[in-house]
Chains A and B, each alone.
Chain A
């Protein structure tokens, strides 16, 4: 566990991210570039035609949207159990990113749904549970912003994220029970042709790296803001 707590110290995190951030930014650009090139040069699907291209920007977005909630949950656990100070900042910084990827996934999904299903929106289990996930993000961010005392806000938001984490499997199950149009997954089960699979996986990696870069950047910004504030207070005193 020691390595985890070394980065509870913002100073150590700043040094690490200073080295990591340029690497992840370059890797993001490379992955997204190669992924998009391979995607656009892939042959049209025999059923979906060119709209299959939307998959390369849609599927990674929803995957990262889910991952981001997972990241918040891990940060919340660290924050509640060990009072890990950096994880408070990290959880807060991940939420708007997760919400953004959720919205991106919903918009690209709607643009794909219109030609393929004939409708922008359907009350299908996956779509519905993503809409609920978006509301969970909004609620988490709203609670953070509503409580003025930062320490209390952090712990309250962490508690909410953990309650949400317990509830998410139940929500998923209940929504599945409630109705069932979206195709099942086709990556793990090997139903996806390799010419589509390769760009999709590269795009997924690219999106994940994009999330990681933006996340680090946001955490760094908060730490720098705090430093600036304490410097100003010190010079005023």
Chain B
């Protein structure tokens, strides 16, 4: 197996085993979706109106939960030094870790979203748009998140500062993602919003391995 796939498989295995992040992120996502109706009231029309936005914000926050460990665990036990010495370029290492993070959180959250959309009384068309927007948009969360994770990997309490530095950068994804759902609810075509979201995601996935690798190097080198 190529080093890239080995690393990918290892990180996914780590995320799915005990104490792993995948199940926690899904539970957190479902919990947010449960608390919001308790807070804003059970009016189904209101819930349908805010559902797209709430589920998008919930998905971004759920994906954040495990981000601070993206490089940190490997940094603390020294395996990141070994991975950096391997022939695999650090950029591809960062990409593998992003992909593993996305598969274990973003993709899983996307699969769960239609179920939660039911709780929010979203129409079938809006549910489909939500599903598509999460599918297109969550890679950006993992990609931008990987930059934040690499910048804070040496911090003992990086989990506190990470959301602060990446959430403002992720605002376009939330705007276009939740916007696409709102457009569908208003019987307008969501294609434009989904296209912009896909463009944001593609740009983030393309550029962030370089930024993340550069900041990992900065933390490993003296």
Contact = CB atoms under 8 A, between A and B. Distances in A.
A54 interface: no
B151 A143 contact: yes
Interface stretch (A110-118, A164-172, A197-205, A207-215): A164-172
Nearest to A149: B154
B172 A170 contact: yes
A142 B155 CA distance: 12
Interface string B146-180: 01000110110110010011011101100110010
A164 B171 CA distance: 12
Contacts of B152: 143, 146, 156
B179 A178 contact: yes
Given A139-B165, A164-B169, A174 B218 contact: no
B161 A171 contact: no
Interface string B194-215: 0010001001000100010011
A195 interface: no
The SS class assigned to the A binding surface is: helix
Interface residues of A, number: 27
Nearest to A145: B161
A163 B147 CA distance: 9
B148 to A, nearest CB: 8
A132 interface: yes
A132 B219 contact: no
Contact of B168 (A139, A162, A177, A178): A139
Give the bracket for the number of chain B residues in contact with chain A.
20 to 34
Given A174-B196, A175-B175, A135 B218 contact: no
A160 interface: yes
Contacts of B147: 159-160, 163
Interface of B: 144, 147, 151-152, 154-155, 157-158, 161, 164-165, 167-169, 171-172, 175-176, 179, 196, 200, 203, 207, 211, 214-215, 218-219
Interface of A: 132, 135-136, 138-140, 142-143, 146-147, 152, 155-156, 159-160, 162-164, 166-167, 170-171, 173-175, 177-178
21 contacts: A132-B168, A136-B168, A138-B164, A142-B161, A142-B164, A143-B152, A146-B155, A146-B157, A147-B154, A152-B219, A159-B211, A160-B165, A163-B211, A164-B168, A167-B172, A170-B200, A170-B203, A171-B169, A173-B172, A177-B179, A178-B179
